[in-house]
Amino acid sequence: MANTSITPTRMVLNQLKGRLKTARRGHKLLKDKRDELMRQFMDVVKRNKQLRLRVEEGLTAAFASQQVAAAIMSPEMLEQALLYPRQSVELDMTFQNIMSVNVPRYRFQTKNSEPGEVYPYGFAQTSGELDDALDQLSRVFQDMLELAEVEKTMQLLAEEIEKTRRRVNALEYVMIPELEGNIKYITMKLEENENATKVRLLKVKEMVLQDAHQYKQ
């Protein structure tokens, strides 16, 4: 809807045309950004589904082995075996820019790369199922970390998609139609003023002719 309170001048008309051109260009860029964000989001969703399935399978196997170990070993022996972990992990977080969205990237590094360092106990008094449980947990840890990374990325991308969608809709359904309405209103007003000026000039010409030649059309 046109804003009838604006001044219908050619300067204002040119300003509005410039704003409309900028708004249309911005609308196209935001639509392209929204579409690319959606494509990236769908790729992350697929990756999230794969990782979640792998993590659930790994944790299920690890918990099953732990339950068997708990049934074989006494609670005191199990607690003592796991009381003092031998391995430690350093976690590092960086950021990657995806369409102006900074998403986290997690990396971890163990203190010791020896596979046997994952077991904080001797093997004489423990069951093989406990070994299996710890081995499965150590292998699923990387997938769990990547899953956390992917889910945070999904959240951030979804928020950016929603913000971009709102901006696209604001331009498409509010700002651009309002600018177009104002341009149409000013153009009509200028045409009306131009036609009124032509009529006045014709009347003046007619009056001048009547005074000069006593001629009346």
pLDDT, average across residues 5-17:
89
In three-state secondary structure terms, 208 is helix
Residues pairing with 108 in the sheet: 91
The string over 145-157, giving b where at least 16 C-beta atoms fall within 10 Å of a residue's C-beta and e elsewhere, is bbbebbeebbebb
Q: What is the pLDDT of residues 37-51, one digit of tens each?
A: 999 999 999 999 999
Integer-rounded Cα Rg, in Å, for the chain is 37
27-162 CATH pick, 3.30.70.2860, 2.40.50.90, 1.10.287.3240, 1.10.357.10: 1.10.287.3240
pLDDT at 4: 64
Sole residue written with tokens 């399978």: 57
Domain boundaries, the chain: 27-162
Contact of 44 with 154, CB cutoff 8 Å: yes
Compare 63 and 122 and report the one with higher pLDDT.
63
Q: Rounded distance, CA 186 to CA 182, Å? A: 6
The yes-or-no verdict on residue 60 having pLDDT over 80 is yes
**For residue 100, which phi and psi values (nearest 5 degrees)?**
70, 15
Which residue blocks in 73-175 are alpha helix, DSSP H? 75-81, 128-170
- For residue 144, what are the CA distances in angstroms to 55, 77, 169, 198? 6, 28, 37, 79
Compare 60 and 125 and report the one with higher pLDDT.
60
